Amino acid sequence: MSETSSGTVAERISRLFETLTHAERKLSNVMLENYPVSGLGTITALAETAEVSAPTVARMARKLGYGGFPEMQTALRTELEATLSSPIAKHDSWAANAPDTHILNRFAEAVTDNLRQTLQQLDLEDFDAVVDLLSDPSRNIYVVGGRISRSMADYLFTHMQVIRDRVTLIPPNSNTWPHYVLNMTVGDVLVAFDIRRYEHDTHRLAEMATEQGAQLVLFTDQWGSPAAKHASHGFRARIEAPSAWDSSVVIMFILEALIAAVETERWEETRNRMKTLEQLFDRTKLFRKFT
């Protein structure tokens, strides 16, 4: 069944993806992105959408096992007909070819519900206020996470580090935390993640930080961490999932939206920093060659 000349167009693309060239991959993505409609126009239109040349499209049709572009198009039409005429259009499931009960579909359902509910109750003023805080170059930013949410803290830190300076990731070991609190002054910002089970140490850290005059931005779940009473701004994300654990997807989502907003706010500087960073990476590579 690993023959080239069998299966749907999409399957063939996936199967051969590794053997495809750069331009062909670009084309594949366009075709899969709006499948199968994008492949039903003229070869020229498809080529233009994918920003490749028409011959590239024709060549790929050959690679996929068709006699030419029109033949592939006919295959697409036939597929489409089969899909549309099947009794219950299978657009109900997220992952095609999987039953509704497959974990992927159940998860997709849960995650989009979480996202919808979270966004519905999310306070935009809070969001914008946090963007302002994180964009302010005069403030020191500290980031801290818990046992699981440490990865989220790390993710935020990695990105913020590119956007601006004065960002510190507080390590997991709470023994060292007082040293960090010692340096916090009025106007500084502590971004903390506290998802159930809530960690007592995080609560203490939040308390100490606010006492020093720092502002607390707290990421927590729908039940709310006890540290929330110290928070200037908070995000309560829905984290339910068909699993023994909670889902961090929505938190990741808010993080990325925040990062994007801050990056826009400080675009000039961000761009310069990214450019410099590129150069530094290049020099690192050079350095490695000599070792």
Map residue 218 onto helix, strand or coil.
strand
Interface residue with a second copy, options 179, 245, 279, 290 (CB under 8 A)? 245
Q: Residue 133 contacts by C-beta under 8 Å, 6 or more apart in sequence? A: 139, 189, 215, 217, 233
Can residue 241 be called a binding residue for a second copy (CB under 8 A)?
Answer: yes
Q: Select from 58, 45, 110 the least CA-distant residue to 249.
A: 110
Can residue 280 be called a binding residue for a second copy (CB under 8 A)?
Answer: no
- Closest to a second copy by CB, 159 or 166: 159
Can residue 23 be called a binding residue for DNA (CB under 7 A)?
Answer: yes
Interface residue with a second copy, options 4, 6, 44, 96 (CB under 8 A)? 96
What does the alpha-carbon distance between residue 157 and residue 240 come to, in Å, rounded to a whole number? 25
CB of 39 to DNA, least distance (A): 10
Q: From residue 171, how far is each of 37, 178, 179 by CA, in Å?
A: 50, 12, 11
What one-letter code names the amino acid at 253?
A: F
**Token pair for residue 63?**
């690679």
- Closest to DNA by CB, 70 or 242: 70
Strand partners of residue 220: 194, 236
Interface residue with DNA, options 14, 37, 70, 229 (CB under 7 A)? 70
Can residue 68 be called a binding residue for DNA (CB under 7 A)?
Answer: yes
Can residue 264 be called a binding residue for a second copy (CB under 8 A)?
Answer: yes
| Contacts with DNA, residue ranges (CB under 7 A) | 21-24, 42-45, 51-59, 61, 67-71, 73
